A and B are shown apart, each in its own frame.
Chain A
Amino acid sequence: ETGVTQTPRHLVMGMTNKKSLKCEQHLGHNAMYWYKQSAKKPLELMFVYNFKEQTENNSVPSRFSPECPNSSHLFLHLHTLQPEDSALYLCASSQETYGYTFGSGTRLTVV
């Protein structure tokens, strides 16, 4: 375990489904992030939360909805996704001078 736990590891969903990705860290970090990693494309920062407050939304479509109920948990709610949204979704956390600690990711397939 890396200290950041993501569930589920794999998810297959239809375009009309609603699902949620979960991220949990107990490292005492105060910032959490969602990244999207697609084949042949660089890491895309989606959302940043600092002390539970969203500080960045990188023009992400509204079919992705983040939620950060406390500094240890981060969710990504998904609805009416498109096949091009299939990717590895990575959660990370950080604390000031240190680098990020990443979870193992959720491999999402939209059918």
Chain B
Amino acid sequence: AQSVTQLDSQVPVFEEAPVELRCNYSSSVSVYLFWYVQYPNQGLQLLLKYLSGSTLVESINGFEAEFNKSQTSFHLRKPSVHISDTAEYFCAVRASGAGSYQLTFGKGTKLSVIP
């Protein structure tokens, strides 16, 4: 079984400042990792994912996350945030084996961007 820990439930940050949202996971097998974003009154949207290959993955809106196997982490970063980034962010993990399709989600981190 897998588990996910998002260490911060809320992160306030000023506009144009950098941000890091932390995610740690535990698993006895190889994993795939995901970040989802949820805007108010909406469902979750896939932001980025790590399946294999380069440990640094990027999204189209400037976020990036780095898979660190030794530290079992998949932190999400953005060098300069915008007001529109205000949302809740969920880290998720699943086993990479065939038939292992079920995701385990963290409790979420609410990012508030302050003008």
Residues of A within 8 A of B (CB): 2, 4, 6, 31, 42-43, 45, 48, 50, 56, 90, 92, 94-105, 107
Contacts and interface: CB of A to CB of B under 8 A. Distances in A.
Interface of B: 32, 34, 36, 41-46, 49, 51, 90, 92, 96, 98, 101-103, 105-108
Interface hub of B42, B43, B45, B103 (most chain A Cβ within 10 A): B43
B103 to A, nearest CB: 6
Contact of B46 (A95, A101, A107): A101
A102 B45 contact: yes
A97 B46 contact: no
A102 B92 CA distance: 14
Contacts of A102: 36, 43-45
A104 B43 contact: yes
A94 B101 contact: yes
A50 B101 contact: yes
A97 B44 contact: no
Contacts of B45: 2, 102
5 contacts: A90-B43, A94-B103, A97-B96, A100-B46, A102-B36
Given A42-B105, A99-B34, A99-B92, A107 B41 contact: yes
A109 to B, nearest CB: 13
Nearest to A42: B107
Nearest to A97: B51
B43 A99 contact: no
Contact of B108 (A42, A50, A56, A96): A42
A104 B42 contact: yes
Contacts of A90: 43-44
Contacts of B32: 97, 99
Contacts of A2: 43, 45
Contacts of B90: 43
